[in-house]
Structure 1
């Protein structure tokens, strides 16, 4: 029988036939797809004809279709709905795939063809997009070590394989710690918790097979527990478990893995002639150098730390007013910050949350996309990989644009966090293909599911990434959608968050779960007034993580990353009651792969642009100004990586932004 992963999918919109795919299909499908891709690469490299853009670059773009199809499905389910068999497959696949791609990047005949085209580029008559694709392919081969020889070449291949294995182990260890820990709650332990937290705890207990409600390490449950539980002892126990993920000793401890990853990255950069990994990694990004990254982060650190210290002093006073002696601790901050927000802004999240229904926030994200880009969303009844998932066809003027899949609820089989990925990216070569885009989140279940304001912001953020994929309009898949510089990729996502705060959006879609009444005007005003509440805390925990990431990679690899983390935080004067957003043993952005290594700063680099970009709409007089929306799509959302990101931003805005807009947007300006 034909392996369903390798078949032509005669399904609606050629979606993966999840109802026919089993875990036992992945390994044999990968074997065949790897063999097919290797043969395609060999045919390109060994072509006796002189290299041309068509027979080399376009041939590379067309190669690997079967492999992309297999991996698009596998990585979707292994990240969002893992099980022991899928984890086993991931451990087996990672080094094989690393070796496969290392073999391609080390193919001297193939590299020679690309190098020849690069030398002849001014005589080839290439269009702008073709020239960009040639440059990116050539640069990728050079940066992967294609010019290395002998022992250095062999060592680079071994490093890549080992890094792939370690990244998988890091991710699976973190998932295991998150999945295995939970804290049972008695009825007495539920006192003081709002209904939505109690409901989420009961749903989590049912999912874990516990006798009653539980607190898990899912952010969508543990954060509101830390915000609302008056039981300081339980807050401390839950918080300590949360920050100990990946550092509990035993087989799931990530500390030695992190140290080995950093050492291997340093060696990889050195083999390529760079002084350290940060210099290597940042070269193709907008920031360009570690110094420029550090300058940005430190420009924000000072105002953020000052705000956090002032806020912390007030929260410690509140702690003492409750008759508790001693210092404000990390498990106290969210609890007293919530009480302060309630007192100063008269904003109670327990009262706010019924107005932020998941389904209505999805509708809001869709409605904004319709008003800005004329997109329509029609529910689809198609087989998906988990019952929690749902799908929509995306159209414009009746024409198919994309399929969008949403997988919103937390579960033990899903890794933490939120992300967007494309099972199939937009392209026009070798034939037209429309994207299939997925948003994965970890919201607490409920009837109905209710979001915190941060959850709602996350939903809009990931949908901004999805729009970047769905509105892509380029020829070649390698530059499609979010295939852009790491410190540019967060611009569309963070920019889209601003539409959640547009008053007319909240007026229409923030409706009460029981009464259906719209959010009262006074509550709406308080939500918007409190938008920058606790920004000192949020900025400090983020910037500290970004500076630790940079310190890990900008210089010799640390022998003991935990000691380096402690030194960096001490030098910064990290407030006692605030921890890094992601401590080293759970810093999946940095250690599950190379994606955000030396690149966690990129959210803030993009925020400099998104604050300035939304100001363009405000200056135009409307968040839905059609001319600004058209310029945003034409210059950023549709262009993928077809042009230099700074050039794209200037085309949209007329100039590059400064840090002032970011500080103002976070309420940190002097």
Structure 2
């Protein structure tokens, strides 16, 4: 009897173990506080089944819309479509967020497996003739259906989406479009994998002689020693192509040949004719996009993308960029000549090169403003800067941020904050992930683990995440940020505020602003970082706790336009390169490097400056910013004018202006055309002059 009971218990335990193993966190409501993803429970083996079930459930929902015999209405067609695909969205937001912030070879393999399935699924929806017929019927009758303004806009946007995604194509062209979309999906993944490998693995500057560290401060040296230890080079110093490692070396190293080696490693990523080479990939992407644009009835891919933006036409964008490029290039040339004069005075027998720019720009800044980046960093302890951006949000919008240690996180370095409004109502959650890791792609971005949505008339609050690659702490110092990193954190936090404040009952339009307006919330937020009263709050010396002295703040103010010629030129060069890659009227073969050279020659780019992103590592345009990298500068026209709305009142924290900005831009930005929403906030159209003035180009 005892033996029988024992066997029964073992059998029960085995069944229980199997059941536990097959439990998939995506298949039920998260049992975590606020419904955050249970990162500690999600395993690699959960993703593919969740994607497959998500696709299956979404298709059933689409079939139910299509097979509904009732006359198409907003509720049974548009709203049903808007609220469909919940499980697929749920797993997608986690998977794609972590594949950017915490990837692995196994996860990359999953991405390659998942991508064609997801692409095919969304093509099946976009090209579903019966579904489009119902949407079209609602669209054509929209003015007789008694719809409110938000419902009308939602109908119009879905109709526009389906047309732009090929719903009006014949069967043969639909098949071609499916094939193009599949190929583009695969190429995007491969490009990103190559870039990650090139940045994090395939180049290291290993230094084993102390004399080769000449010019570097102790914190830079300590960080390089930690990097070396982590990579198996203990007792040496390692510098990588991650900007927190590379830029300080370029700024301060006296070893010109090592600066050249490091910088050229950076600007030749994806261009080594090996397994990680991206030249053929970027060309194939450009050709496929040209083919796609032609199929959809557009002259070029630029026309296809920009037609739905505020700019409307590629010609308008080129004109705008050229207008800013002219004074920016003059400013860059003036700085180049000033830096060459320093080289000559010091007896250097060489011409300034691209890898020299950061080093001599630091010298020139010291000479003109008596300001050195190293003077600033002790005042920019990461935690203090974070509290500074929270302070601004509190002063403007009444938000409070409380650190939560009881919520699941996907990496030990990640922090989570609960966001509440001034009435103590829960607004959302903010995840912060600061430092470089081998599994994290380069750059900084803001995403969502959950977008705000409405279910049964109730708003479901968002879960927003900011991911950066900032300077790490060392054994002797906390994480001390550069000024560029400070501005980047404020920038991404502006995106986060947009995500936290977005409020609308229809997923398609809630928070959906034109691509060339999407950087307005982020870039306006940068303005507060440098305001004296804000600096007084967060810029405190990490050792003494003393606030930044007035004379240092004054130097920051006076030097605010320093090197803006360089920054503007390298940015516009990349924006032009993006547009040129997407200007093909039909697919054509070109030599990638020669094409890039001709593009830069046309705008008279000086040899001392490379475009901010070259073709083989221009991940922005492989992803969501294709034909749209220009939007940062376009949005700067808006953000410069929008910040003036505060300045004009004499109070940079004017709550009345902040309330209008929150409502018309951050909360309701997707409710109407971009410029109409801006006019509701500002009352007038912006001009280019504030942008030029802010950059010292006017």
Provide TM-score, normalisation by structure 1: 0.98
The residue number in structure 2 matching 1:454 is 484
Residue 669 of structure 2 contacts residue 677 of structure 2 at CA under 8 Å; is this kept in 1? no
- Following the alignment from structure 1 to structure 2, what is the Cα–Cα distance between the partners of residues 197 and 321? 28
Residue 287 of structure 2 contacts residue 584 of structure 2 at CA under 8 Å; is this kept in 1? no
> Any idea what SS the aligned residue of 1:580 has?
coil
The residue number in structure 1 matching 2:188 is 167
> 219, 222, 228: which is aligned to 1:205?
228
- Following the alignment from structure 1 to structure 2, what is the Cα–Cα distance between the partners of residues 524 and 572? 36
The residue number in structure 1 matching 2:657 is 628
How large is the RMSD of aligned CA atoms in angstroms?
1.1
> 472, 483, 506: which is aligned to 1:445?
472
- Following the alignment from structure 1 to structure 2, what is the Cα–Cα distance between the partners of residues 281 and 568? 20
- Following the alignment from structure 1 to structure 2, what is the Cα–Cα distance between the partners of residues 341 and 90? 45
Residue pairs, 1:258-273, within 5 angstroms: 258-273=282-297
By how many angstroms is 1:199 displaced?
2.9
By how many angstroms is 1:323 displaced?
2.5
By how many angstroms is 1:322 displaced?
2.8
- Following the alignment from structure 1 to structure 2, what is the Cα–Cα distance between the partners of residues 40 and 146? 19
Q: Per-residue displacement from partner, 1:44-79 (whole Å, max 9, x unpaired)?
A: 122111111011111111111101111111011110
The residue number in structure 1 matching 2:507 is 477
- Following the alignment from structure 1 to structure 2, what is the Cα–Cα distance between the partners of residues 351 and 208? 30
By how many angstroms is 1:167 displaced?
0.6
> Any idea what SS the aligned residue of 2:465 has?
strand
Residue 468 of structure 1 contacts residue 640 of structure 1 at CA under 8 Å; is this kept in 2? no
- Following the alignment from structure 1 to structure 2, what is the Cα–Cα distance between the partners of residues 502 and 562? 42
Residue 422 of structure 1 contacts residue 435 of structure 1 at CA under 8 Å; is this kept in 2? yes
Structure 1 range deviating more: 415-424 or 27-36: 27-36
User: Structure 2 vs 1, CA of residues 429 and 284 (structure 1 numbering), >3 Å: closer, same or farther?
Assistant: farther
- Do residues 228 (structure 1) and 252 (structure 2) align? yes
The residue number in structure 1 matching 2:136 is 115
> 514, 520, 525: which is aligned to 1:491?
520
- Following the alignment from structure 2 to structure 1, what is the Cα–Cα distance between the partners of residues 233 and 53? 43
Residue 552 of structure 1 contacts residue 558 of structure 1 at CA under 8 Å; is this kept in 2? no
- Do residues 188 (structure 1) and 211 (structure 2) align? yes
By how many angstroms is 1:338 displaced?
0.5
- Do residues 400 (structure 1) and 421 (structure 2) align? no
- Following the alignment from structure 2 to structure 1, what is the Cα–Cα distance between the partners of residues 359 and 47? 46
> 413, 422, 425: which is aligned to 1:388?
413
- Following the alignment from structure 2 to structure 1, what is the Cα–Cα distance between the partners of residues 245 and 510? 35
Residue 425 of structure 1 contacts residue 480 of structure 1 at CA under 8 Å; is this kept in 2? no
The residue number in structure 2 matching 1:146 is 167
- Do residues 51 (structure 1) and 69 (structure 2) align? no
- Following the alignment from structure 1 to structure 2, what is the Cα–Cα distance between the partners of residues 648 and 429? 26
By how many angstroms is 1:209 displaced?
3.2
- Following the alignment from structure 2 to structure 1, what is the Cα–Cα distance between the partners of residues 178 and 502? 33
Q: Where in structure 2 are there 5+ consecutive unaligned residues?
A: 1-18
- Following the alignment from structure 2 to structure 1, what is the Cα–Cα distance between the partners of residues 233 and 71? 67
Bigger-Rg structure (1/2) = 2
User: Structure 2 vs 1, CA of residues 216 and 51 (structure 1 numbering), >3 Å: closer, same or farther?
Assistant: same
Provide TM-score, normalisation by structure 2: 0.94
Residue pairs, 1:581-600, within 5 angstroms: 581-591=612-622, 593=623, 595-600=624-629
> 26, 34, 39: which is aligned to 2:60?
39
Q: Where in structure 1 are there 5+ consecutive unaligned residues?
A: none
- Following the alignment from structure 2 to structure 1, what is the Cα–Cα distance between the partners of residues 225 and 27? 41
- Do residues 217 (structure 1) and 247 (structure 2) align? no
- Following the alignment from structure 1 to structure 2, what is the Cα–Cα distance between the partners of residues 526 and 271? 55
> Any idea what SS the aligned residue of 2:626 has?
coil
Aligned residue pairs: how many?
666
By how many angstroms is 1:626 displaced?
1.1
Residue 6 of structure 1 contacts residue 69 of structure 1 at CA under 8 Å; is this kept in 2? no
- Following the alignment from structure 1 to structure 2, what is the Cα–Cα distance between the partners of residues 517 and 426? 40
The residue number in structure 2 matching 1:370 is 394
